[in-house]
């Protein structure tokens, strides 16, 4: 299935650099190792396909590759019998909102027709044509608690289509949901989280404790909308939440006196709370902020340890009537942290930075090395699979780091698949001090590889990992000699762990023929590994205490 309609790339191998290749009549260059990479128009017709015709002297090979192209919405004729797109009607079923929220009612209908919404109480609402042939209007959710109908007319011809009804959630007693853990790889309380998003199917934003109870305020598709506090709502997959009985009372959360304790490895900020809160941890320079949503503070005393090398003090503010924010002032940039729920208290565990010998910065360090994929992953023109190449590079990196005195935790040691969620868990349980995921890049459908940039880039999520990302990026560019595509903030699963600086490297594009050939070479694999090792060494050296 092709996801683009204009042009796309096609790549593979003829098996010989002496071959000539034409695809759908267009000559495509063949590399010395037989790899090819073409940029062609998307095939059309009733049975779209690519015809590959390869020759080498008297030898001829033909291959037909059938493809599918995503369907185009059927045209709506301006003449003849009136036809509307019944599948385009919104709202459909499964929507729940507050009565005063607006709902978009819409349908695809011919441009020379008229469309009117008929509400159950007899009210008529004209729909306005927007771009193309979509007609729409916004109405209050309370006006759609019973299904309405859209009447489309053109001359004497008319079509009637029913809309879905909307559940008015504030017309009945408040309902609550409890969050569930849906990560099959999580086997301890520390690793279990429920993911919430700013919008249905949006990016990940909040990672909350299973068992947290939140008010249900909306439903759309396969998602529930829940209230974090009076000013903030979020969306959660319906599979990750259970609606509680109507008799369930809403939680009342109060935070009380704080205790800060320290040991050799970390400092705990322990805040008793009457019930599990929705929360968020943020970074700002030499401070961490812990925001508790739907919570009132009754903190009078904050007790500090006298031997704490990391936390200077903790302050709090009632940021809103039901939102409290604790600021943990640190003696330096945060190195790592965890949020835990332990015996009716939320605990923010702040990790102490390691003591580093500047002359031997990797000696005694524990480094997690993650060979990216399988499952999934990209494949190069001659069949080099990303997961095989990253494992070879990671093994080279392991050897280099161990030679410098580090202990290496490999998240994958064989070609078999390792679940994405288990990789950061393995690293945290090993108490790794840095995490590096090794990957190779590819282009999405519709990008012209003959014009697009390709090179090296590195990804991070938390601010604490940004210095490591920059150091490793410098090492990769220096060793591999590919264009510097910079570092990127990205919400990637393996980079979202907070107990250690975590990064993901995209050293090269495996689907580019020249780079795929290089990645088969052990020398190039060593250069990739050496770039990461140099970056790790630079990063940990920067943590050494200056004399």
Residues 264 and 231 in one domain: no
Task: Please give the residue range of the domain that contains residue 208.
Answer: 173-243
Could you tell me the end-to-end alpha-carbon distance of the chain, in angstroms, rounded to an integer?
Answer: 61
Has residue 261 been placed in a domain?
yes
Q: Are residues 297 and 425 in the same domain?
A: no
Q: Are residues 383 and 520 in the same domain?
A: yes
Claim to verify: residue 392 and residue 515 sit in the same structural domain: yes
Given this model, what pLDDT does residue 189 score?
53
**Could you tell me if 467 and 394 lie in one domain?**
yes
Residues 391 and 522 placed together within one structural domain of the fold:
yes
Together in a domain, 160 and 181: no
Question: 539 and 457, same structural domain?
Answer: yes
Q: Is the pTM of this model over 0.85?
A: yes
Residues 533, 502, single domain; the answer is: yes
Q: Note whether residue 78 is domain-resident.
A: no
> Contact, 410 vs 397, CB < 8 A?
no
Nearest to 164 by CA among 226, 107, 113, 202: 107
For residues 394 and 398, what is the distance between their CA atoms, to the nearest angstrom? 6
Indicate whether 357 belongs to any domain: no
Q: What is the pLDDT along the chain (547 residues), one digit of tens a residue?
A: 888 889 999 999 999 999 999 999 999 999 999 999 999 999 988 899 999 999 999 999 999 999 998 877 778 999 999 999 999 999 998 899 999 999 999 999 999 999 999 999 999 999 999 988 999 999 999 999 999 999 999 999 999 999 999 999 998 899 999 998 755 444 455 678 899 999 998 999 999 999 999 999 999 999 999 999 999 999 999 999 999 999 999 999 999 999 999 999 999 999 999 999 999 999 988 999 999 999 999 999 999 999 899 999 999 999 999 999 999 999 999 999 999 999 999 999 999 999 999 999 999 999 999 999 999 999 999 999 999 999 999 999 999 999 999 999 999 999 999 999 899 999 999 999 999 999 999 999 899 988 999 999 999 999 999 999 999 999 999 999 999 999 999 999 999 999 999 999 999 999 999 999 999 999 999 999 999 999 999 999 999 976 6
Residue 439 lies inside a defined structural domain of this protein = yes
Contact 34, 28 (CB under 8 A): no
**Domain termination residue (choose one: 116, 135, 167):** 167
Is residue 339 domain-resident? no
Verify that 236 and 314 share a domain, yes or no.
Answer: no
Number of domains in the chain: 5
CATH of the domain at 186: 2.30.30.40
Q: Angle, nearest 10°, between helix axes 466-480 and 522-543? A: 140
Q: How many residues does the chain have?
A: 547
Record the tokens describing residue 354, joined without a space. Answer: 């390691």
Residue 359 lies in a domain: no
| CA-closest candidate to residue 460, choices 502, 423, 424, 425 | 502
């Amino acid at each position: 299935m092709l996801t683009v309609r204009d042009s796309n790339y096609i790549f593979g191998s003829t098996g010989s650099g002496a071959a000539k290749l034409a695809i759908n009549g267009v000559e495509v260059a063949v590399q010395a190792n037989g790899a090819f990479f073409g940029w062609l128009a998307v095939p059309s017709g009733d049975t779209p396909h690519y015809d590959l015709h390869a020759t080498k002297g008297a030898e001829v090979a033909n291959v037909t590759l059938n493809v599918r192209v995503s369907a185009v919405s059927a045209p709506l004729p301006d003449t003849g019998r009136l036809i509307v797109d019944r599948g385009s009607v919104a709202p459909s079923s499964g929507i729940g909102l507050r009565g005063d929220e607006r709902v978009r009612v819409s349908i695809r209908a011919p441009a020379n027709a008229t469309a009117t919404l008929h509400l159950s109480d007899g009210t008529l609402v004209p729909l306005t044509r927007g771009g193309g042939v979509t007609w729409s209007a916004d109405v209050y959710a309370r006006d759609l608690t019973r299904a309405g109908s859209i009447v489309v007319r053109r001359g004497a011809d008319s079509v009637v289509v029913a809309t879905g009804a909307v559940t008015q959630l504030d017309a009945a007693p408040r309902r609550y949901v409890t969050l569930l853990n849906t990560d099959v790889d999580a086997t301890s309380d520390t690793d279990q989280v429920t993911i919430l998003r700013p919008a249905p199917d949006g990016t990940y934003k909040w990672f909350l404790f299973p068992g947290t109870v939140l008010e249900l305020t909306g439903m759309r598709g396969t998602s529930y909308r829940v209230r974090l506090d009076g000013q903030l709502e979020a969306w959660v997959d319906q599979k990750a939440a259970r609606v509680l009985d109507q008799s369930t009372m809403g939680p009342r959360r109060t935070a009380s006196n704080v205790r800060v304790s320290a040991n050799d490895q970390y400092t705990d900020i322990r805040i008793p709370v009457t019930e599990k809160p929705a929360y968020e941890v943020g970074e700002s320079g030499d401070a961490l902020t812990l925001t508790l949503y739907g919570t009132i503070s009754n903190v009078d005393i904050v007790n500090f340890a006298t031997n704490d090398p990391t936390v200077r003090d903790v302050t709090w503010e009632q940021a809103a009537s039901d939102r409290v924010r604790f600021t943990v002032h640190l003696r330096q940039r945060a190195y790592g942290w965890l949020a835990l729920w332990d015996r009716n208290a939320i605990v923010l565990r702040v990790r102490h930075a390691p003591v580093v010998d500047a002359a031997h910065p990797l000696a005694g360090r524990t480094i997690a090395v993650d060979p990216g994929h399988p499952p999934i992953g990209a494949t190069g023109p001659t069949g080099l699979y990303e997961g095989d190449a990253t494992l070879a590079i990671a093994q080279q990196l392991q050897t280099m780091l161990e030679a410098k005195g580090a202990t290496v935790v490999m998240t994958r040691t064989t070609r078999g698949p390792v679940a994405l969620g288990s990789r950061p868990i393995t690293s945290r349980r090993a108490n790794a001090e840095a995490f590096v995921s090794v990957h190779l890049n590819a282009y999405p459908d519709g990008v012209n590889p003959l014009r697009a940039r390709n090179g090296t880039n590195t990804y991070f999520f938390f601010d604490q990992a940004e210095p490591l990302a920059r150091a490793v990026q410098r090492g990769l560019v220096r060793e591999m000699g590919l264009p510097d595509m910079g570092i990127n903030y990205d919400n990637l699963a393996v980079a979202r762990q907070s107990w250690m600086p975590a990064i993901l490297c995209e050293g090269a594009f495996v689907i580019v023929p020249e780079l795929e050939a290089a990645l088969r070479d052990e020398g190039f694999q060593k250069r990739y590994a050496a770039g990461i090792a140099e970056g790790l060494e630079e990063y940990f050296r920067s943590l050494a205490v200056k004399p």
